[in-house]
Amino acid sequence: MTKTKVTVPQLKGWKGQTKKFTMITAYDALLASVIDKTPIETILVGDSMGMVVYGYDSTVPVTMEQIVQHTKAVVKGAPNTFIVGDMPFGSYNVSVEDAVRNANRIIKEGGADCVKLEGGKNMAHVVAALVNGGIPVMGHIGLTPQTAGQLGGFKVQGKDAEAAKQLLEDARALEKAGAFSVVVECVPAPVAKMMTEELAIPTMGIGAGPNCDAQVLVTQDMLGMFDRFVPKFVKQYAQMNQQMIDAINSFYQEVQDTTFPGLEHSFGMKEEELKRLY
């Protein structure tokens, strides 16, 4: 298939259209190159790498160096896909100056097309500073994994009217600050629907129901590769964890049975050269 990288104006232009766009994660060039062969419009180099790649218990330990290096790899693997670089915990919540400096690194060194950061009204001033500096910003509200401890864990947000109103205020603040889209995670579908109808920028749902302008999933979740837990909002389109286990078990057994490697996997030698060995 022929694929052309989308732009921020294109993504914003799909707001409210029948066209729904998509975002999934990648952390290396190999997986990115696979995604680049599909119609998926955007790739998130997410701090979810902390749990998926590095085995951390949360996203909090992920560093700027890790984000930048993984973003470089993904950009090389998927030159025709819009790349979102996640801003890790501690890279934007110390000062605006730090936020601008670190976002510049993700764009300049990593090669990302935009950055994503968590937070609503409390981070609107940071979003505004980044946008004023020429950096496209994707917001992220609802369940914000970096601060899940403050939220009581990985739980649905906005379940009562007051909490839902707060989320709507957060979304409005991000839009006003200049974010071109906002990820809405683990929010009741009716709340996400109201947000989608009110905002002029696209909502990107993950566990937020069917009415958002876009849908997001972690690739390792949707492919059934990550098996420590499966969030309620994840649909597994494959069971690759078991497929990989079966393949590795087959390799092990064939080595024991001496059926691998066979002649078709081995290199020969000219007869005259073989004779010279003896």
Nearest in space to 145 (alpha carbons), one of 137, 157, 153: 153
Take residue 127 and report the two structure tokens written for it. 């979003």
Burial tier of 259 (Cβ tally within 10 Å: 0-12, 13-18, 19+): exposed
* Residue 198 falls in the annotated catalytic set: no
Alpha helix positions (H), the chain: 8-13, 29-35, 49-52, 64-77, 96-108, 124-132, 161-177, 189-198, 219-222, 240-256, 271-276
The C-alpha angle 187, 144, 155, rounded to 5 degrees, equals 50
> Which among 97, 185, 197, 254 is annotated as catalytic?
185
Work out whether the CA dihedral 30, 33, 39, 42 comes out positive or negative: positive
Burial tier of 17 (Cβ tally within 10 Å: 0-12, 13-18, 19+): exposed
- Provide the annotated active-site residues: 185
